[in-house]
Amino acid sequence: MKYVDEFRDPVKARTLLREIEGLVARIGATPEKPLAIMEVCGGHTHSIFRYGLENMLPREVELVHGPGCPVCVLPMGRVDDCVALAENPSVIFTTFGDAIRVPGSKKSLLQAKADGADVRMVYSPLDALTLARENPDREVVFFALGFETTMPSTALTVLQAAAEGIENFSIFCNHITIIPTIKAILDSPDMRIDGFLGPGHVSTVIGVDPYEFIAEHYERPLVVAGFEPLDVLQSIWMVLKQIAEGRAEIENQYARIVPDRGNDEALAAVAQVYQLREYFEWRGLGSIDHSGVRLRDEFAQFDAELRFTVPDAKIADPKACQCGEVLKGVIKPHQCKVFGGACTPETPLGALMVSSEGACAAYFQFGDPDKLRLRVHSPEPDESVVA
């Protein structure tokens, strides 16, 4: 398949892996004290597991799966708010697919649907707006979720609704911003990240310039990375090369998609529609200043939080959950006390176990926990592969 297979070429992968091994030797990292590279974005986590990249890398490189999975960092109280909105009989509650199974303190949206709530899966906020047009006697609420990647599409939908004067459409805004989050990780006392893979699709919107402070103030390299396996390997190679050469810079591996300055139209729509919240609550990470947005006052009529009463309860994460430590890279998913026991994809305690981008679900479904725990490198196939 054109534009896909080129980025999954195993011959090029082997070349890159040899180069990576050379750089690791030059830096002098050891398996006991590996270089920690955080992929910020859940899309990268998904690729890493889908292609088995973690097992291909030398043991001196440790991938830390960061907080860039919007479903995973959503606090339980916000899921409860979703359920409360969805259970309002006048409401058609619309959501992206992977948010539907995230556990609230009492139930998930999927369970609310089974209990009679009108919850519908959509692929775009525009689908929700279409539902609003088709159901003028119902209130259609869109569960707006995600980093800067999905923020513009929600913003443009709100502008469209305003332009058409649609009165039965609103959004429950849970959009979050990446920069304060990376800063919070860098400021964390247990921070131990040597370099970052920057989120590719967020960067198509914001560009690469906003990351400069990471190189300047924190002296860590960041490479904005694409999502194909060769993209990820090349980006790891670029981070290691910077470390080997004593540099800390912001580089763009995903230049075929990501313009340095971002997408002007998307940024303009975002600026027009949203304003920063003073703080936003993150699952596992706690409250982070200026890390979320809400609709500006002039769009108040489209704000589900103003249009309806939401409980807005602060629900503490289950005590046994160590989602925060996983998100910050302090522990690996399988080192969590409840991983694979009380917390599995069937009965998730934490959202990291729900989304296919969540580090814990990825470990559970694609990884090899037994071997990862032992840090055995490159598991040997059971026998020579396939006749």
Partner 1 sequence: MGELVDINARAACGIPRVSTDKVTLAHGGGGKAMRDLIDDVFIRAFDNPALAPLEDQARFVLGDLGAQADRLALTTDSYVVDPLVFPGGDIGKLAVCGTVNDLAVGGAKPLYLTCSVIVEEGMEIDLLRRIVASMADAAELAGVKIVTGDTKVVEKGSCDKVFINTAGVGVIARRHDLGVGHARPGDAILVNGMLGDHGATILAARGDMALSTTLESDCAPLHTLCSTLLDACPDVRFIRDATRGGAATVLNEIAQASGVSIEIDEERTPLRPEVRGFCEILGLDPLYLANEGKVVCVVPGEHANRALEALRAHPLGQDARIIGKVGSGNPGRVTMQTTFGGRRIVDMLVGEQLPRIC
Q: Are 8 and 193 in contact (CB under 8 A)?
A: no
96 binds partner 1 (CB under 8 A): yes
123 binds partner 1 (CB under 8 A): yes
Site for partner 1 in 303-362 (CB under 8 A): 345-346, 355-357
Site for partner 1 in 202-241 (CB under 8 A): 229-230
Buried b (16+ CB within 10 A) or exposed e, 6-43: ebeeeeebeebbeebeebbeebebeeeebbbbbbbbbb
Nearer to partner 1, 308 or 366 (CB): 366
d(CA 310, CA 87): 11
71 binds partner 1 (CB under 8 A): yes
| Binds partner 1 (CB under 8 A): choice among 56, 224, 323, 343 | 56
Smallest separation, CB 85 to partner 1 (Å): 19
Smallest separation, CB 264 to partner 1 (Å): 20
367 binds partner 1 (CB under 8 A): yes
| Binds partner 1 (CB under 8 A): choice among 23, 37, 122, 206 | 122
127 binds partner 1 (CB under 8 A): yes
d(CA 186, CA 268): 28
Q: Are 358 and 69 in contact (CB under 8 A)?
A: yes
| Binds partner 1 (CB under 8 A): choice among 256, 365, 373, 375 | 365
Q: Are 174 and 143 in contact (CB under 8 A)?
A: yes
- What one-character-per-residue DSSP string does 187-210 give? HSTT----EEEEPHHHHHHH-SGG
Smallest separation, CB 387 to partner 1 (Å): 6
Smallest separation, CB 113 to partner 1 (Å): 12
d(CA 37, CA 32): 15
Residue 308, token pair as written in the block: 């309806």
| Binds partner 1 (CB under 8 A): choice among 78, 201, 220, 334 | 201
Nearer to partner 1, 108 or 242 (CB): 108
d(CA 79, CA 118): 15
374 binds partner 1 (CB under 8 A): no
| Binds partner 1 (CB under 8 A): choice among 70, 221, 284, 329 | 70
| Binds partner 1 (CB under 8 A): choice among 59, 101, 138, 277 | 101
Question: How many residues at the interface with partner 1, by CB under 8 A?
Answer: 54
Helix (H, G, I), strand (E, B) or coil at 321: coil
Smallest separation, CB 218 to partner 1 (Å): 26
Beta bridge partners, 197, equal 39, 223
Q: Is 340 left (phi over 0), alpha (psi -120 to 50) or beta?
A: left
- What one-character-per-residue DSSP string does 16-47 give? HHHHHHHHHHHHT--SSSPEEEEEEEHHHHHH
386 binds partner 1 (CB under 8 A): yes
Q: Nearest 10 degrees: CA dihedral of 186, 249, 39, 214?
A: 20
* Interacting residue ranges for partner 1, rule: CB under 8 A: 1, 4, 8, 10, 13-14, 43, 46, 49-56, 70-71, 96-101, 110, 121-123, 127, 145-147, 149-150, 201, 229-230, 345-346, 355-357, 364-368, 379, 381-383, 385-387
